Chain A
Amino acid sequence: ETGVTQSPTHLIKTRGQQVTLRCSSQSGHNTVSWYQQALGQGPQFIFQYYREEENGRGNFPPRFSGLQFPNYSSELNVNALELDDSALYLCASSLDRGQVQFFGPGTRLTVL
């Protein structure tokens, strides 16, 4: 157990809908990163939040957005869902930028 929790565990949405995924970071960690893992592939970096500010973004369209709260928990929002958004979404927290990242169990999103 890493102390990083994610909710919900599983989610089914239809194309065009919007979804919000949540992540609680490990106690004392101020940095949260989000990753998308399609079936059979390695995780792909979406973005990172450090002290409530976005601190780097991967090659994902603007309909992927995020938020980090004062308690350092975080949300990932995806608008206008597409079938290819079906994936395991992983959240990782770290003590600070550039430190070891500890992953949560992930949220499995299925878009029909």
Chain B
Amino acid sequence: DAKTTQPPSMDCAEGRAANLPCNHSTISGNEYVYWYRQIHSQGPQYIIHGLKNNETNEMASLIITEDRKSSTLILPHATLRDTAVYYCIVSWGKLQFGAGTQVVVTP
């Protein structure tokens, strides 16, 4: 079973920031937090990952709480092409996907 809890869906207005929460209260010390997204029937796309520090790349920012029991993925300026299922995964090695969050970006 997946070790993360995410809301099943959320909407976001185009141009606004999208904040996607994830709970992972049983995370182990050597497990990373990974975020992937999947656009319909395509392979999952890697977004970002982190261990305990906040991370930022050209796609998104990842904020991890100090106790590492939860995290937030931030898409700074959502576009229509960001509509996808977003998966939060805690792992070292094999990835255990849950149901993810269906994000719909609306004009």
How far apart are A50's CB and chain B's nearest CB, in angstroms? Answer: 10
Q: Is the CB of A33 within 8 A of B43?
A: no
Task: Decide yes or no whether B29 CB sits under 8 A from chain A.
Answer: no
Bin the interface of chain B by size: 20 to 34
Contacts of B2 on A, CB cut-off 8 Å? Answer: 42
Near A by CB (< 8 A), chain B positions 51-107 give 87, 92-100
Q: Is the CB of B100 within 8 A of A56?
A: no
Secondary structure class of chain B's binding surface, majority of residues: loop
> Cα distance A42–B45 when bound, in Å?
13
Tell me the B residues contacting A by CB distance below 8 Å: 2, 34, 36, 41-46, 49, 87, 92-100
Contacts of A13 on B, CB cut-off 8 Å? Answer: none
> Cα distance A33–B93 when bound, in Å?
9
Contacts of A90 on B, CB cut-off 8 Å? Answer: 43-44
Contacts of A2 on B, CB cut-off 8 Å? Answer: 43, 46
Number of interface residues of A (CB under 8 A): 26
Tell me the A residues contacting B by CB distance below 8 Å: 2, 4, 33, 35, 41-45, 48, 55-56, 58, 88, 90, 92, 97-98, 100-106, 108
Given A98-B92, A100-B34, A100-B49; A44-B97 close (CB under 8 Å)? yes
Given A56-B94, A88-B41; A41-B46 close (CB under 8 Å)? no
